[in-house]
Chain A
Amino acid sequence: MGSNCYMEFSMNKPLVEIAGYTNWRKKLILMLLVGSLSILVVSLICLNFGVVPINPKDIISLLLNGTQDKTKNLIIWQLRAPRIVLGVITGAALSTVGGAFQGILRNPLADPYILGVSAGAALGACIGIALQHATGYLFASYLPLFAFIGAMFSLYLVYQSSKISYSANSTGLLLAGVAITFLFSALITILLAISRKELQSMVFWLMGDLSAANWKKISIITLPAIIGCLLLFFSSLDLNALSLGEEEALHLGINTGKLRIRIFLIGSIIIASVVSFTGLIGFVGLVIPHIARLLVGPDHRIMLPASAFLGGIFLILCDVLARTVIAPTEIPIGAITAIVGAPLFIYLLRRKNK
């Protein structure tokens, strides 16, 4: 019989070793432990950086016992800590959604802004800033609301226009997303062109900015971000199956049409709510999922949480650079993420291919 050689080969090693399936829960728990610990350590390190030097000993005693020094207390608790927490949530949300979108589109170039949410949020925010300067009212605290309404409006437009054609696949959504992004970007360009004083605040918003972080903002976005990311997490197995192809996923009993709408809506709402407070931070959602895949493999059940941790860590490290490199002037964080992220990404890809 021709089968003998295969049998011999597989008897060389015990079966358990060859086809050893490790329980995914073990992998997940290990990953969560390592991730949480790293986030904690990196956050503590990031607390040390800022315009006003505070030595690490003071920070530790301040965190453990509180302190009489009101200025230091204020700097740590009201300036640096909220900024770090907002950075972690934003980075985690962008990366998780990016990973899920890459999975659902079977396209490694997808990013969280692919459905035009970014353009909508940006247009909303720019209108807010322009109104503030035109009318003299202080819209600043309502800026996130403007951005969120803009994002939801663009998402609605994209969804409605995609329904007209190609309803069966994601091409319609993608094309509609591209079209709406171009349309809104043109409107933003016009706004930028006719603005004078408010130009810098608009540009800063467009590049992303964590400097206005406070606990109130954090309390607003934390819950939707966590719930949304959990919902994405529970679609992990379906996302895994989709990488075999659309038809294969159907053969495995997965309603790919419904899955796609669900992932897109949940993802875009998470992104809209986060980005409304931070501005458009680019690159994180595109690159971090790839790095996560290189580190822990493509299984979305492990990869999505790993992306969240890596994204959080990456963003707060970039934020430290943004506020220290030419302090006291701040660089927009969106510029830093790309400057740091692009070479890192290319390095990792090269190392993997060796």
Chain B
Amino acid sequence: MADNHNVLTLKGVHFSYNNNREILSDINFHLPKGELLGIIGPNGSGKTTLLKVISGILKPKKGEISLLNQNLNKLPIEQIAKFISVVPQDTWVTFNFKAKEVVFMGRLPYVSRLRGETLEDYQISREAMEKTHSLSLAENNIQEISGGERQRIFMAKALAQTPQLLLLDEFTSHLDLNYKYEMLNLLKRALKEEGLTIISVFHDLNLASIASHRLLLLNEGKIEKIGLPQEVLTEEMIQKAYGVRPILINHPRLKVPQVIM
């Protein structure tokens, strides 16, 4: 079966809240190991909903999602948490934990509630902070660092969870240019060295084009197009989904399309 190479497969997935208007209809795609898939689309096209359906928080009304050849919606959430981790858009923390304590929470799927954590859990948390260059933030209070710094801490937390599949919801939105580069490098390393597979929702089409192996363009809950950046970011597709006429140029070094106004 070709399925063996796929971390994730969606077959005919539909989603709606309480039988109202369909938010996702007939979503089909599969994701081979080691790929970074970028999800793009205008506001309200269902990007975040799709991410929630993949992470198991929302259950599809129809269709099947398989994660590493297992039916995702039949797995208990404790089990899903060992395979999938998520970097959310909203990184506010109610109580003022230290950054390192937040990173450690990534280990919770593995920690026994009776016996508590082991040294290995601390070790993995620390490595996750090294990878995201956030070690220097470790002792800071999470409510007292900037939005961008919080996002790096949440990234470290997601890595500490040692997932197979990493989901990112517009994770670069609060990051300065230098950290965007930093994070893109980090993602590349994670794909190569740790065998991660990544799905990321992007707001920024140009960043999506640079970072992703393939792009998935959502429009009104349907897949408008899925394929290589140069297949998806075409004048025709963008006009269909966003209703504007863009100017497309080729990135001088990376040879991927870039959209300018």
Contact = CB atoms under 8 A, between A and B. Distances in A.
Interface residues of A, number: 38
Given A19-B126, A21-B122, A248-B88, A243 B138 contact: no
A241 B80 CA distance: 16
Contacts of B33: none
Given A251-B85, A253-B80, A253-B82, A297 B109 contact: no
Interface string B82-101: 10111010101111111011
Contacts of A255: 77-78
B94 A106 contact: yes
Interface in A234-252: 234-235, 237-238, 240-245, 247-248, 250-252
A9 B182 CA distance: 15
B182 A18 contact: no
Given A2-B181, A21-B122, A253-B80, A10 B88 contact: no
A254 interface: yes
Contacts, number: 113
Given A247-B57, A250-B57, A298-B95, A18 B136 contact: yes
Interface in B117-145: 117, 122, 125-126, 129-130, 133, 135-136, 138-139
Interface in A56-106: 103, 106
B136 A251 contact: no
Contact of A297 (B56, B97, B102, B130): B97
A25 interface: yes
Contacts of B114: 234
Contacts of A301: 116
A245 B135 contact: no
B55 interface: yes
A108 B143 CA distance: 15
Interface in A261-312: 293, 297-299, 301
Interface string B198-212: 000000000000000
A24 interface: yes
A238 B109 CA distance: 10
B104 interface: yes
A238 B113 CA distance: 9
Contact of A24 (B52, B105, B116, B178): B116
Contacts of B178: 2
B130 to A, nearest CB: 7
8 contacts: A18-B135, A21-B122, A243-B93, A244-B93, A244-B102, A251-B86, A252-B108, A255-B78
Interface of A: 2-3, 6-7, 9-10, 15, 18-19, 21, 24-25, 103, 106, 108, 234-235, 237-238, 240-245, 247-248, 250-255, 293, 297-299, 301
The 6 closest A-B CB pairs, nearest first, are A253-B81, A298-B95, A243-B94, A253-B78, A21-B122, A6-B133
